[in-house]
Amino acid sequence: MIAMREMNLSAVDLNLLPALEALLRRRNVTRAAADVGLSQPAMSRALARLRQILDDPLLVRGPNGLAPTSRAQELAPRLGAALEAARSVFRAQPFEPAGLRRTIRVAASDVQTVLLAPAIMARLARIASGVDLVMEPYGPDVRRRMEEGSLDLAFALASTPLPPGAWSEAIGVDRLALAMRRGHPAANRAWTLADYGRFDHVAVALLRDGESDMDARLAAAGVSRRIALTTPHFIAALASVAATDMVTTVSATLARRFAAPFGLLMRAPPFDDVTLPMTLVGAAARANDPTLRWFCALTREVADSIFREEAAFA
């Protein structure tokens, strides 16, 4: 039995393949040369090189011009398919959400699962019913999970420093609101920074890292506050202030959503900047993933609509 040897493609000039396809299709060196943008002498040299590599004359003179050999006739259909496959590697494929079959995993808090997930799922049901969405809790391993591919994206504030190599997409701007129960001792007046030090607070810690942008703002003004309750859930914070004289500072959109059922009222926080610009963050390895870019755009449309409604209502 004769052993077949695999050809080393790195040793072959793949630019010869379009020349070979044109030669077998045209069966004329001059016309084939024009098709691929070569001079007639250059095409003649290409034919000589192909004959050497394939160990076959490929085209031979006959009564009606050049005629393909049996080997050339065998190669012709496979050559066309191989060139088309090679071209498809470099051709941008049309993105069709309707044909997607994929699970997208996103680290999110109850702010996003309550405010955004219902509208996102309604859109997916209409235009990409094969996409499943899994919203997962945050944790200290979020970066590792994104890098290894078990997590696709994470919601974050635009002020959150990005890890090296990460990319982000802005999805909308919410704002902060100070929430307290109706009948709170300080309900009927505008709050000052000093008031933040007079009442107990509920804080939300998603990563259990003890860091708080709010406390940094207060410290800069010489104010400290007592955090009587720390929870990983924003809705739990709202439910807790509804039953006590504690207060919390959270998403205005979320607070307004639960103001009626929890018996809450909202006040403007005494800060110069109360905006909450939100982003979706992903790992660099999937920065050009068309599905994730499409999902970010869809989420931005949903978030923009919801936050605009909140701003108009306020």
Mean pLDDT of 201-219: 78
Kindly state the percentage of the chain with pLDDT values over 70.
Answer: 90
pLDDT of residue 16: 85
Contacts of 86 (CB under 8 A, 6+ apart): 17
For the chain, the helix, strand and coil percentages under 3-state DSSP, each to the nearest 5: 45, 20, 35
| Model pLDDT for residues 22-48, shown as the tens digit of each residue | 888 888 888 888 888 889 899 899 889
Do 73 and 167 share a domain, yes or no?
Answer: no
Quote the CA–CA distance of 267 and 178 in Å, as a whole number.
Answer: 5
Mean pLDDT over each residue of the chain, to the nearest integer: 87
Report the length, in residues, of the chain: 314
pLDDT of residue 313: 43
pLDDT of residue 210: 52
Mean pLDDT of 172-199: 93
Quote the CA–CA distance of 75 and 221 in Å, as a whole number.
Answer: 79
| Model pLDDT for residues 136-154, shown as the tens digit of each residue | 999 888 988 988 889 999 9
**Chain centroid offset of residue 218 CA:** 35
By the 8 A CB rule, do 108 and 135 touch? yes
| Model pLDDT for residues 229-276, shown as the tens digit of each residue | 999 999 999 999 999 999 999 999 999 999 999 999 999 998 888 999
Do 283 and 145 share a domain, yes or no?
Answer: yes
Domain count, the chain: 2
Do 142 and 218 share a domain, yes or no?
Answer: yes
Do 162 and 198 share a domain, yes or no?
Answer: yes
Do 295 and 169 share a domain, yes or no?
Answer: yes
Is 76 within the bounds of a domain?
yes
> What CATH number corresponds to the domain at position 201?
3.40.190.290
pLDDT of residue 310: 62
pTM of the model: 0.71
> What CATH number corresponds to the domain at position 83?
1.10.10.10
SS (H, E, C) 227-238: EEEEECCHHHHH
Do 187 and 268 share a domain, yes or no?
Answer: yes
Secondary structure class of 289 (helix, strand, coil): coil
Is 270 within the bounds of a domain?
yes
More confident residue, 80 or 167: 167
> Which residue range forms the structural domain that includes residue 60?
9-90
- Measure Cα distances from 85 to 28, 90, 183 in Å: 25, 9, 71
By the 8 A CB rule, do 102 and 131 touch? yes
Contacts of 117 (CB under 8 A, 6+ apart): 108, 133, 135
pLDDT of residue 93: 67
pLDDT of residue 248: 96
pLDDT of residue 236: 97
Do 17 and 131 share a domain, yes or no?
Answer: no
Quote the CA–CA distance of 208 and 188 in Å, as a whole number.
Answer: 33
Do 125 and 255 share a domain, yes or no?
Answer: yes
Secondary structure class of 267 (helix, strand, coil): strand
